[in-house]
Structure 1
Amino acid sequence: MKRIYSIDVTRGLVMVIMALDHTRDLLHVDSVAHSPTDLNTTTPILFFTRWITYLCAPIFVFLAGTSAYLSLRRKNDIAQSRDFLLKRGAWLIVLEFTVVNLGLFFDPGFHLVLFEVIATIGFGFIILSMLLKISPIMLATIGLIIISSHELFTAIPFAQGSLASKILSPLFTLTPLPLFPGHLMLVAYPPIPWLGIMLTGFGAGRLFELSEERRKSLFLRIGLVSLVLFAVIRLINKYGDPVPWSFQKSPAYTFLSIMNISKYPPSLLFTLVTLGIMFLILGTAEGQKNKITDIACVYGKVPLFYFILHFYVIHTLLLIILFAQGFHWADMSFTTGTFGRPKGAECGVPLWAVYLIWLGVVAVLYKPCIWFGKYKAKYNSWWIRYL
């Protein structure tokens, strides 16, 4: 089965958007001191800069599940697909804990290790490899049940510090896990809620076997229904997100409160709005081919290559900026999770500069992604299949 253009376009678009979040996170002058979603300190443009990047992880995870389904259909061999998913899942977890974390923090001592999107995809692939004999419809049903109900886990009255709490909490909620003195793992992407998104994406892979015209119509309808459900459930304000919205100092900030949904872990409302937008993008991309979609497709064909490379580019830029602002190597802190930014010092760039640097990073990575996409298509080495 050949590559599906709309998937590559959609994935490429969110990969480009993702770089904006990481550019802001590492370079923005207020990124360490203030959360961009804290309504007491944020501005609408800063809130939007963070919120738009919420699209990235759920779409990335959903389409990873879809790609696993399409790969299974192409191979038509459950044993071979199981072996590939198991190995790739393990490989992704290793990459997260080594190459990705090093690129994020530039800390070879790995004092803080994040379990984030790459590791949670790896975990999902490993679990999915064990479930391939279950029908895609059933897996999608399981995924939807997880998405809609995992929030109830926090209502279970586990005794604090109990064995059940220690085992299950990292699977469902954001959890810090002390490793040994001076070293901490933060499970920022609890794997069970994200597994629900992947399983749903796997089941949705069947939709890509429809004709392009039928896909376009169906995706647009699914997207609109998801957004309507989001609006209804959010306005009821009783379930779907652990943080209810409230009236604020102005209508604009009240709207921000409504849109201030939870990613860690991804709430039902978070998933509805982000995947609803994803389906609208997929539907719009079906049958479209122009310069913009072709550019997005370049990044979408090599998402992991781009993902790893962009961290190292952005972090190198951070060091250049810190040196330019008069800081010295001895001033920089790499073991505290602040990416090397000197503790307590005002450093970084304003938001308008974040946008300019983001566009520059995306542009710089365009040619390498073209090169790797061609290399990947030409050669079939075993290691390329895992990127």
Structure 2
Amino acid sequence: MTQQVPGQAQLNRLGIARLDSVDMLRGFVIALMVLDHVRDYFHVHAFVFDPLDPARTSVALYATRWITHLCAPTFVFLSGVSIHLQRAQGKDTATLSRFLLSRGLWLVLLEFTLISFGFNFGFVLFAQVIYAIGVGMILLAALIWLPQRVVLAIGFLIVAGHNVLVPIDAQSLGSLAVLWRAAFEPGLVAGMPGFVAYPFIPWFGIMCVGYGLGGLFLKPEPERRRSTILLGTGALVLFVVLRLVNGYGDQLPWREYETSGRTLLSFFNVSKYPPSLLYVLATLGVSLLLMPLLERLRGTAASALLAFGRTPLFTYLLHVYIVHGSALLIGVALGFPAKIFCNFIVDPSRLVQAGWGFGLGIVYIVWFGTLLTLYPLSRWLAAVKRRRRDTWLSYI
């Protein structure tokens, strides 16, 4: 099997050279996403307390959780960038709109079937990042008929302004509560076994920003590097300024603790559910600064990131079953009842009461083993996508 070499042009389904920078960053955050989910299934305190709680966490646990904050916003942002690149590479508006509509519906279906089952090993409507991306694509199927700068403005408005709506409580909206949860407020879905973790409107704003800024990634490499560094630096500077004011931009103000170290942890503990303005500035700022560094990677690590980045949906779906399945098999081998690993997403108390879980060292070992398992499978599909132009391949 031919190995993917960073810096060597690879072709997409349209026969046009892919951008290593986009694929590498996407692969990097997918690898981090695997770490986050391994922590969920294997860490002893995963369902006991928030790993970002400055009063209870350790520096290692905090760092492990915080770095995985990069995953979802970068994944969604790059989805928007990729849509712009498809348009720039020759897809007319009507064709692209139809594709976004069909792929968006497909992603929502996957989220509520194979993906939700993989996370829970039981029926549950678990609305996560794939749901948010799917609904975002459905909405963008309509918005791409507008000028790109208008879509960018809509994205900025949503990202910067949706925090105004945070005080509205879904429970106060009566029959509209379900729609409000789906769009704005995370939480349990009344009357059905389900949980909305990623309400789609805030994440759609991030996708629109990615689409609107997609042209930056088509610039020559030196100019693209300068642009991403300036954007990333600007986002982080704005984050620090707004966070110091401790006013608008995040639903969780920071506060002083008994030590400066825990105060610093509080300062960087920004809200993901839903993603606040400060959360987006901090995470995308870091990701944009990482992009030029990742482009310099070579060897097996770079090839693995490219393989993950060029097969994102396949790798995502596969890792869910590998991670959850590994937890179940290891748990049963150690004498834990299999039933505690099933139907626990809404109520994980059985896992906690059984004492399941390990320290961070084991979490990182399982993470590394999972990546080793995923790599040849993702590389195989990436090679298939290079060789073939079948339409169905764009849906996996």
In structure 2, do the counterparts of structure 1 residues 341 and 175 end up closer, same or farther at CA, with 3 Å as the change threshold? closer
- Moved beyond 6 Å, runs of 4+: none
2:242 counterpart of 1:233: yes
2:374 counterpart of 1:362: no
Residues 182-201 of structure 1: matches in 2 within 5 Å?
183-201=192-210
Separation in structure 1 between the aligned mates of residue 391 and residue 333 of structure 2, nearest angstrom: 42
Separation in structure 2 between the aligned mates of residue 340 and residue 103 of structure 1, nearest angstrom: 19
2:167 counterpart of 1:167: no
CA offsets 1:266-317 (integer angstroms, 9 cap, x no match): 000000011101111223345x352233331121111111101111111111
Q: 2:71 is matched with which residue?
A: 56
Equivalent position amino acid for 2:42 in 1? L
Q: Does structure 2 retain, via aligned residues, the 8 Å contact 1:106–1:340?
A: no
Separation in structure 2 between the aligned mates of residue 106 and residue 99 of structure 1, nearest angstrom: 10
Separation in structure 1 between the aligned mates of residue 285 and residue 161 of structure 2, nearest angstrom: 18
Separation in structure 2 between the aligned mates of residue 363 and residue 340 of structure 1, nearest angstrom: 31
In structure 2, do the counterparts of structure 1 residues 340 and 96 end up closer, same or farther at CA, with 3 Å as the change threshold? farther
Separation in structure 2 between the aligned mates of residue 159 and residue 46 of structure 1, nearest angstrom: 33
Question: 1:103: Cα distance to partner?
Answer: 1.0
Q: Which moved more, 1:165-174 or 1:85-94?
A: 165-174
Task: Provide the alpha-carbon RMSD of the alignment.
Answer: 1.9
Separation in structure 1 between the aligned mates of residue 190 and residue 181 of structure 2, nearest angstrom: 14
2:315 counterpart of 1:303: no
Question: 1:246: Cα distance to partner?
Answer: 0.4
In structure 2, do the counterparts of structure 1 residues 322 and 130 end up closer, same or farther at CA, with 3 Å as the change threshold? same
Question: 1:214: Cα distance to partner?
Answer: 0.4
Q: Does structure 2 retain, via aligned residues, the 8 Å contact 1:233–1:239?
A: yes
In structure 2, do the counterparts of structure 1 residues 364 and 144 end up closer, same or farther at CA, with 3 Å as the change threshold? same
> What percent of counterpart residues are identical?
37
2:99 counterpart of 1:91: no
Runs of 5+ unmatched residues, structure 1:
none
Q: Does structure 2 retain, via aligned residues, the 8 Å contact 1:55–1:278?
A: yes
Q: 1:131 aligns with which of 134, 138, 143?
A: 143
Q: Does structure 2 retain, via aligned residues, the 8 Å contact 1:115–1:188?
A: yes
Runs of 5+ unmatched residues, structure 2:
1-15
Question: How many positions carry a matched residue from both structures?
Answer: 379
> SS of the counterpart of 2:362?
helix
Separation in structure 1 between the aligned mates of residue 44 and residue 358 of structure 2, nearest angstrom: 5
Residues 243-282 of structure 1: matches in 2 within 5 Å?
243-282=252-291
> SS of the counterpart of 2:281?
helix
CA offsets 1:329-363 (integer angstroms, 9 cap, x no match): 3x525223267964611012211100111011111
Separation in structure 1 between the aligned mates of residue 336 and residue 186 of structure 2, nearest angstrom: 34
Question: 1:156: Cα distance to partner?
Answer: 5.1
2:348 counterpart of 1:336: no
In structure 2, do the counterparts of structure 1 residues 33 and 156 end up closer, same or farther at CA, with 3 Å as the change threshold? closer
Separation in structure 1 between the aligned mates of residue 154 and residue 238 of structure 2, nearest angstrom: 19
CA offsets 1:214-245 (integer angstroms, 9 cap, x no match): 00111111111111111111111011100100
Separation in structure 1 between the aligned mates of residue 187 and residue 390 of structure 2, nearest angstrom: 38
Separation in structure 1 between the aligned mates of residue 386 and residue 74 of structure 2, nearest angstrom: 24
Question: 1:166: Cα distance to partner?
Answer: 4.8
Separation in structure 2 between the aligned mates of residue 103 and residue 158 of structure 1, nearest angstrom: 28
2:166 counterpart of 1:154: yes
Q: 2:93 is matched with which residue?
A: 78
